[in-house]
């Protein structure tokens, strides 16, 4: 990146583009799973406060993180290996400032049906399962908060959830905005172009 800034070049190598996509595909779902762990932590703290230390013991947290890492590594490897099977024309221009999976796949010269199907299946599984867990946890937490008799207890529980809800809103809102802007970029021209050589 520093070399590109110094030379005013927007080019990236094919290996660099694949590596960039691998890290992007790895770290976004990792954030998603960590937010899910925080949601589950809030859910247990609000709905089962007396059993919190038993349910949220360090072993459970480590298991959740290890399972998340395995799923994420497999997901990023599948996408990267499928990308390596594609053929691209020389001097490919992508209308984005980084190598995003969808525009690169749509720029391939051969059939990309399997890649597109895998993108949608993993997106539905990773985001769909995560969002359903978030919605379920917060619906149970909110109903548990409303059942509390003390106003101070309700305020404390809501303030605990408010900061995390804002983080979740920013995370999913940004992701939704990126998906919508990516779809709009396919229909119009963009000034930020990455050249894959």
pLDDT of residue 101: 80
CA dist 88 to 11, 107, 143, 151, 175, Å? 15, 7, 53, 62, 27
pLDDT tier for residue 184 given thresholds of 50, 70 and 90: low
Distance of alpha carbon 151 from the chain centroid: 36
Domain boundaries defined on the chain? 2-196
Q: Average pLDDT in the 168-184 region?
A: 75
For the whole prediction, is pTM greater than 0.85?
no
pLDDT of residue 97: 65
Are the beta carbons of 119 and 79 closer than 8 angstroms?
A: yes
> Of 23-37, 63-77, 110-124, 168-182, which range is least confident?
168-182
At 123, the pLDDT band (50, 70, 90 cuts) reads: confident
What pLDDT sits at residue 183?
59
Position 116 pLDDT exceeds 80: yes
pLDDT at 197 (0 to 100):
54
Q: Which residues pair with 181 in a beta bridge?
A: none
Mean confidence (pLDDT) of the chain = 80
Q: With bands split at pLDDT 50, 70 and 90, how would you rate the model's confidence at 188?
A: very low
């Amino acid at each position: 990146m520093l070399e590109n800034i110094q030379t005013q070049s927007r080019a990236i190598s094919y290996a660099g583009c694949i590596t960039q996509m691998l890290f992007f595909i790895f770290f976004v779902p990792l954030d998603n799973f960590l937010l899910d762990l925080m949601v589950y932590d809030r859910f247990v703290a609000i709905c089962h406060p007396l059993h919190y230390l038993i349910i949220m013991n360090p072993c459970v947290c480590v298991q959740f993180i290890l399972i998340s890492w395995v799923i994420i590594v497999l997901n990023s490897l599948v996408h990267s290996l499928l990308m390596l099977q594609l053929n691209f024309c020389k001097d490919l221009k992508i209308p984005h400032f980084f190598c995003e999976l969808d525009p690169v796949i749509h720029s391939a010269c051969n059939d990309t049906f399997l890649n597109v199907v895998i993108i949608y299946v993993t997106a539905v599984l990773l985001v769909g399962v995560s969002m359903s867990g978030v919605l379920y946890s917060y619906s149970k937490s909110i109903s548990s908060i409303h059942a509390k008799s003390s106003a101070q207890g309700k305020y404390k529980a809501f303030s605990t959830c408010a900061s995390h809800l804002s983080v979740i809103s920013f995370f999913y809102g940004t992701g939704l905005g990126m998906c919508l802007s990516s779809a709009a970029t396919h229909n119009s021209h963009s000034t930020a172009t990455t050249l894959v050589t």
